[in-house]
Amino acid sequence: MELSLPVQVLDELASSVEQMDPDMVMVLSKRALDADIDPADIVENGIAKGLRRVGERFEKGEAFLTDLVGAAAAAKEALESVLRPAMAKARTSQRSLGKVVLGTVSGDIHDIGKNIVAAMLFASGFEVVDLGTDVSVGDFASKSNEVGARIVGASALLSTSLPVQREIVSEFVKRRIRDRHKLLVGGAPATEQWAKDIKADGYAPNAVDAVKLVKSLLGLK
């Protein structure tokens, strides 16, 4: 059965991410926009789908860390220069649903997962304060408190940087600001059980679930 144009383009886009082909990712992202596909769908069902495939192969031992990094690099330019601006243009709600602080924890410079979550939250109407990568425990706490963010998300791709998420929760407790923020964790080595163990407020395995979780924690539909 022949696939519809939107499905075909998004499937090709996912494959291009998986094949670490940044030029084709850019071409197909623009083609998807020209076909009037919602930019949030392009991110979730194209870019993120390809990254998930690589992640699944990595978990099975069929891919290496270099494959994860290469796929993320292939997706990054299209996400930042084409899809994020398209999301801003297509965003229907001008009223912010609230502030969300995101960052990749200290010792970790991987950001594609965080960037996708940021894009999806932005498209859903949130004001996103992106702290970038290799963010210290203190900076997470200071900036979140400074901007009054109800939601704080800490991402970690490396298992060696995962314990920093626990340190972040402890820092918010130490500063006596824990009750002002909902602390969320994510990234390849993170799990729902890990979130419970470190007394975070939640975990999301992907960007779509992250948006749902944030809305749920804030009492939004």
User: What number does CATH give the domain 5-90?
Assistant: 1.10.1240.10
Alpha helices per DSSP H over 43-148: 48-59, 65-78, 84-90, 112-123, 137-147
What is the residue extent of each domain of the chain? 5-90, 99-217
Measured CA to CA, the distance from residue 157 to residue 209 in angstroms comes to 17
As a whole number, mean pLDDT of residues 36-47 equals: 91
CATH class of 99-217: alpha beta
The structure tokens 């997470």 sit at 140
206: Cα within 13 Å, side-chain hemisphere: 13
| Amino acid 181: pLDDT | 97
Backbone region of residue 192 per phi and psi (left: phi > 0; alpha: psi in -120 to 50; beta: other values): alpha
Using 50, 70 and 90 to split pLDDT, how confident is the model at 1?
very low
- Same CATH topology for 5-90 and 99-217: the answer is no
Calpha distance 124→40 (Å, rounded): 9
Q: Which helix (H) or strand (E) holds 156?
A: none
Helix, strand, coil fractions of the chain, as percent rounded to 5: 60, 10, 30
Q: What is the pLDDT of residues 163-215, one digit of tens each?
A: 999 999 999 999 999 999 999 999 989 999 999 999 999 999 888 899 999 99
* Position 145 confidence tier, pLDDT thresholds 50, 70, 90: very high
| Sheet with strand 127-130: strands edge to edge | 127-130, 99-104, 151-155, 182-186, 202-203
The pTM is what? 0.79
Share of the chain above pLDDT 70, in %: 96
Tens digits of per-residue pLDDT, 76-119? 889 889 998 888 887 765 578 899 999 999 999 988 889 889 98
